[in-house]
Amino acid sequence: MKALEKLFELRRSLDTYEREMGFDKLSEVEKSVLEFVVHSKDANITRITKDAYFFKYSLSTIKRAVGVLLSENIITATQSSLDKRSMILTYNK
């Protein structure tokens, strides 16, 4: 019971932070992708899909989330200098 109470407190705090940062309009998968991009060096769609957290999402769902973040100008995609097929995703601060 205490664990569930603590979990709800954390969820409420997270909701407050997301609202303050202006990310409350994003879907859960969009927020997760954004957090992965901020957390990971050289993030790209392939790396996102290979992370165990994202196994529950399809490739098209992840691509759609990246598309929303790009169109909202929250992240930027830049061609990798190592692999021209890869687009590196970065957070626009």
Q: Is residue 4 part of a domain?
A: no
How do the pLDDT tens digits run along the chain, 93 residues long?
899 999 999 999 999 999 999 999 999 999 999 999 999 999 999 999 999 999 999 999 999 999 999 999 999 999 988 888 899 999 998
Q: Is residue 31 part of a domain?
A: yes
Residue-level pLDDT at 93 = 82
Domain that holds residue 64: 26-91
Q: Is residue 67 part of a domain?
A: yes
CA–CA distance, 8 with 76 (Å, rounded to integer): 33
Q: Is residue 2 part of a domain?
A: no
State how many domains the chain has.
1
Q: What is the CATH number of the domain that holds 75?
A: 1.10.10.10
Q: What angle do CA 59, 93, 39 make, to 5 degrees?
A: 50
Q: Is the pTM of this model over 0.85?
A: yes
Q: Is residue 19 part of a domain?
A: no
Q: Is residue 73 part of a domain?
A: yes
